[in-house]
Structure 1
Amino acid sequence: MESLAAALVNDGQTTIANALLAHYREIGVTNDELLVYLQFKRLIDQGNQFPDAAVIAKSLGESTNAVFQRLHEMLAKKLLTIESITADDQKIHDRYNFDGLYDKLAVALKKQPVSTQASEQATSENSRQKVFRAIQTEFGRDLSPIEMESISKWFDEDHYEPEVIELALREAVLRQVYNLTYMDRILLNWQKRNLKTAAQVEAERQRSIEQRLNSAPQPQRQTGANAGPKIPLFKLGEDQS
């Protein structure tokens, strides 16, 4: 067998459902995201469950940051999750799971009319992407896949409102602590105090400020030589003659 043909056989093949190629735009997958998915699927099919983004970037002729950005968007759209599994060596490893992409494809193939629920889901995904972008902007760097997954869990498992997450981000930035662990502690603290909405958080903040002001010691009046000028006791408008 010719060397080129042997290489083609040894590298194996990646099979893609035609339905995905025909309908990927309908489920919110962009052309760039599809290419990234295909490259990841190629390596996953070869046995690499957590491919290096740098390898993908080299294949696509893009930067690693660009690949991370595509992953970020796919996580936000619930097309991708990152799981931790125990491998044969009994060590815990991460892996990419693109089942969400096919779950959405299955729904699209049913050709159900756009409903209020679908509209609400789209709004939710837009809010989620806004939070991802806000955190990335304030941190001044691209988020790692693990960080993206942590943020997704705030939405999917903890059910924090996007506005509440943004308030936690503001608190972290004010204190110049640029990590998700600190934000998570803030969110847990609010959750324990049953502060579930941005309005409740802001109201509690205002109440705390007023409480501190009311409990602050009042300035004492000075007497004797250190006392300031006396204030006349007469009222404005009275005859002062």
Structure 2
Amino acid sequence: MDQLTQAIINGGQTTIANVLLEHYRELGLTNAELLVYLQFKRLMDQGDTFPDANQVAESLGETSNTVFQHLHEMLAKKLLTIESVTANDQKIHDRYNFDGLYEKLAVALTRTPKTETATVVENNENSRQKVFKSIETEFGRALSPMEMESISKWFDENHYDPEIIELALREAVLRQVYNLTYMDRILLNWQKRHLTTAAQIEADKQRGIENRLNSAPKPQRQTGANAGPKIPLFKLGEDQSK
């Protein structure tokens, strides 16, 4: 058996549905993201449910940060989720789940290629990407897959407006707290107080400033012994030597 044949047999096969290759652009999947998905699928088909991004990066000739960036873009588009499951060894393990990709494919097959709704979805995804990039810039590092999923939940489950998430990021940076847990507490506090727009949040902050100024103790006019030295009064032209 020649070396190529042996490599093909030992390496196994990775199959991909032709309908996905035909319609992947309609799902918002880019060419680069499709390649990343195929590499992850290859490793997952071989039994690795949570492949190492460094291994995928090496196969693609890219950096691990580039691979993580593509993963978080797929998370933002709800093409990918990261699940925690209990394995046979009773330990909790993370795994990638690309079911969302095929769920969106099923929807894409039932609609027209490009509608006004699709344009709105695309604009929302652009806003989401802007938030991801802002957080990474302020934190000074790339986000982990779990952090990417947490941010996606702010959009998909909590339905926070992107502008509000940006405001929460600004509050966290001002306090030099660079983690999503702190941002989540800020967002939850605003939600409980029914502050659902950036304008409402800014108005609430302004009221807080005004209340603090109004409640601050005012300086008291000193009298008696603490009033300080008396300043003599005299009329203009009066002889002061008297």
AA aligned opposite 1:123 = N
Q: Does 1:21 align with 2:24?
A: no
* Residue pair 1:139, 1:178 contacting (<8 A) in 2 also: yes
Q: 1:229 to 1:137 in 2, by over 3 A?
A: farther
Q: 1:216 to 1:89 in 2, by over 3 A?
A: same
Q: Does 1:93 align with 2:93?
A: yes
Match of 2:228 among 225, 228, 238: 225
Q: 1:114 to 1:220 in 2, by over 3 A?
A: same
AA aligned opposite 1:54 = N
Sequence identity percentage: 73
Range 60-69 or range 190-199, more displaced: 190-199
AA aligned opposite 2:8 = L
Q: How many residues align?
A: 230
Shift of 1:111: 4.0
Q: 1:7 to 1:227 in 2, by over 3 A?
A: farther
Shift of 1:4: 3.5
TM-score by length of 1: 0.89
Q: 1:113 to 1:30 in 2, by over 3 A?
A: closer
Matches within 5 A, 1:92-241: 92-112=92-112, 114-223=114-223, 224-225=227-228
Q: 1:144 to 1:228 in 2, by over 3 A?
A: farther
The CA deviation string for residues 172-193 of structure 1, in whole angstroms up to 9 with x for no partner, is 0111111111111111111222
Q: 1:108 to 1:98 in 2, by over 3 A?
A: same
Partner residue, 1:82: 82
Secondary structure of 1:95's match? strand
Secondary structure of 1:152's match? helix
User: In 2, distance between residues paired with 1:136 and 1:146?
Assistant: 14
Name the larger-Rg structure: 2
The CA deviation string for residues 77-115 of structure 1, in whole angstroms up to 9 with x for no partner, is 111111111112221111111112222222222242644
Shift of 1:76: 1.4
Partner residue, 1:38: 38
Q: 1:162 to 1:6 in 2, by over 3 A?
A: same
Partner residue, 1:235: none
* Residue pair 2:79, 2:100 contacting (<8 A) in 1 also: yes
Where structure 1 has 5 or more consecutive residues not aligned to the other structure, the ranges are 231-241
Partner residue, 2:236: none
Moved over 6 A (4+): 227-230
* Residue pair 1:75, 1:149 contacting (<8 A) in 2 also: yes
User: In 2, distance between residues paired with 1:67 and 1:189?
Assistant: 34
TM-score by length of 2: 0.88
AA aligned opposite 2:54 = A
User: In 2, distance between residues paired with 1:227 and 1:204?
Assistant: 46
* Residue pair 1:222, 1:228 contacting (<8 A) in 2 also: no
Q: 1:121 to 1:226 in 2, by over 3 A?
A: farther
